[in-house]
Amino acid sequence: MGRRTTRALIAAAALAALLPLAGAPAGATGAAAEPAQHTRAAGFQHPGVLVGNQQLAFVKGKLDAGAEPWKSAFADLQSSKYAALDWKPRPRANVECGSSSNPNNGCSDERDDAMAAYADALQWALTRDQRYADKAIEIMDAWSAVIQEHTNSNAPLQTGWSGNNWSRAAELIRYSGAGWSAASIDRFATMLRTVYVPLLSPGSPRKNGNWELIETDALMGIAVFLDDHGLFDQAAGMWRKRLPAYVYLASDGDLPVPPPKAGIEGESALVTYWSGQSTFVDGLSQETCRDFGHTGWGLEAAAQTAETARLQGLDLWGEGRERLVKALEFHAAYDNGADVPDWLCDGSVKTGLGPAVQLAYNEYHLREGLAMPQTEQYVAAHSPFGANYFIGWETLTHTSAP
């Protein structure tokens, strides 16, 4: 038995208390086996990007009853800067985003405007106050009339961050009788197809995994808005290949699954790609030893994609169950204060998952009844969750949501 394998076995045993099996389904396997190719409904359900009518009706009922945590979460949405009715969109033709958004020529403006459009769309959907629908339409129309391209090194990630919220806002407004004109809808759809899809669809194989998962998330949302079955299936295929390369399971073998189409293979290359981590245990992420913030983004993007797929009749939640449950439990334990062992990231991790746990917690613990004690503790300590880049008010939209 090799030294690395022995270390992994010792580490796995030490983590057993933190990572219960959580009710993984019989016959669950790692990436070595082909995932079940579940089929979705023949037609798209609208609205059906991250939130649907059944969820909205459920949340409305909770708000009408003054129930928590929905009441406090909605108050957070209403008081957010993104929900202000005097918000002024700041579109530009060329959004130039370098590494870490430096240079930042329209990057923050676009992300903020997309988040504001989603905030207004949510408020409209929950209150039927026409002012919010009009503001969302104003923001989306401003950008679809101006933007032509994204440039510089962060352009694919920027299209993912913004594309996620654009598709969610547009879906809610288009399918709610908000008064968005057919001409404006067509122009917005053209913007998504010509400015966003070309940067999203190739993915980012050699980048840290949160990039491609965020891009996949946006691609699926845009596919639903565009009623594009081919694009939807492409996004599902990207998800199926990228998630196993992002979260390790012992069933994968001694080494993590290589990222697809990246040419990163073999022990040395994979250890380098995993930030120097050479001991692999269930739930570890490719970005764990980078920081939990980026790791949370990757896990959340995978969860958001699965939730949109669920609304369209495709069970990606089931396909990713073991990886996502174990990843959340693994990371939440350290956010909750567990001691960091020497074999993990040289004994030091940068915690802080942020608002990246609500969707998976709702699916696996509240819908399916799986034990997630570490994530449950984290949610209790940190919710209601607000807005962060491509994550918005999921305590409100997804706590106990059907």
Give the model confidence (pLDDT) of 241-254 as tens digits. Answer: 999 999 999 999 99
The pLDDT of residue 1: 46
User: pLDDT above 70 covers what percent of the chain?
Assistant: 90
Reading the block at residue 326, the tokens are 């174990």
Residue 291 has pLDDT above 60, yes or no: yes
The pLDDT of residue 11: 55
The phi and psi torsions of 95 (rounded to 5 degrees) equal -95, 110
The Cα-based distances of 193 to 50, 145, 173, 201 in angstroms read 19, 14, 18, 11
pLDDT bracket for residue 22 (50, 70, 90): very low
The pLDDT of residue 18: 55
Q: What is the mean pLDDT of residues 184-197?
A: 98
Q: What is the mean pLDDT of residues 349-354?
A: 97
Q: What is the mean pLDDT of residues 318-341?
A: 98
pLDDT bracket for residue 30 (50, 70, 90): very low
The pLDDT of residue 107: 98
Give the type of residue at 260. P
How many residues are listed for the chain in this entry? 402
Q: What is the mean pLDDT of residues 55-61?
A: 97
Radius of gyration of the chain (CA): 20
The pLDDT of residue 36: 40
Strand partners, 150: 95
Average pLDDT, the chain: 92
Q: pLDDT of 85-144, one tens digit each?
A: 999 999 999 999 999 899 999 999 999 999 999 999 999 999 999 999 999 999 999 999
Query: Tokens 């706590």 — which residue?
Result: 399
Pick the residue with more confidence: 2 or 319?
319
The pLDDT of residue 87: 98
Domain ranges of the chain: 230-402
Give the type of residue at 187. R
Q: What is the mean pLDDT of residues 159-172?
A: 98
Residues 202, 156: Cα–Cα separation, whole Å: 9
Strand partners, 95: 150
Residues 175, 190: Cα–Cα separation, whole Å: 18
pLDDT bracket for residue 231 (50, 70, 90): very high
Please name which of 373, 289, 341 lies closest in space to residue 18, comparing C-alpha atoms. Answer: 373
| Dihedral (CA of 173, 391, 50, 384) sign | negative
